[in-house]
Amino acid sequence: MPELTRKRPEFRNINAFKDLTTYRLPAAGWVSILHRVSGLLMFLLLPLIVWLFDTSVSSEISFERFASAFAGGGWLPGWLLKLVVLALIWAYLHHFIAGLRHLWMDVSHDAVSKQFGKTSAVVTLVLSIGLTVVLGAKLFGLY
């Protein structure tokens, strides 16, 4: 009997320049890769995170220094520091939400399905980007 479905392409020996430009990664794959990227970003920027926290809570004078760094009075332009902090906000939110997704899939037997993987991946991406936009608007003084 003839097969009515279209044959899917097989990727065996992947050429990074030819095949990866045409390969469509599913949402769950993007969440998995971005989970690793966000963890690496938070790890690499840990000294900045410690400095931001220490400067903001040490004293009133250090808090003024902290506030002036965001206003552009530090060794970095204020907008650049805000972009780095925005990247950290996204990294934390994405890593946290994707981590909860992975924990839920480990604990729940109903969560191990193709449909749940796709749905939860899309929810993870929408929540992390949406919350980042809301907090980024606050960070840049839009409200």
Please give the annotated binding residues, written as ranges: 95
User: How is domain 27-139 classified at the architecture level of CATH?
Assistant: Up-down Bundle (1.20)
Domain ranges in the chain are 27-139
pLDDT at 4 (0 to 100): 67
Long-range contacts of 132-136 (CB under 8 A, 24+ apart): 132/86, 132/89, 132/90, 132/93, 132/94, 135/86, 135/89, 135/93, 136/86, 136/89
Q: What pLDDT digit, counting tens, does each position of 67-110 carry?
A: 888 887 667 788 898 999 999 999 999 999 999 999 999 898 77
Does the pLDDT value for residue 127 go beyond 70?
A: yes
Please give the annotated binding residues for heme, written as ranges: 95
**Full-model pTM:** 0.81
pLDDT mean across residues, the chain: 88
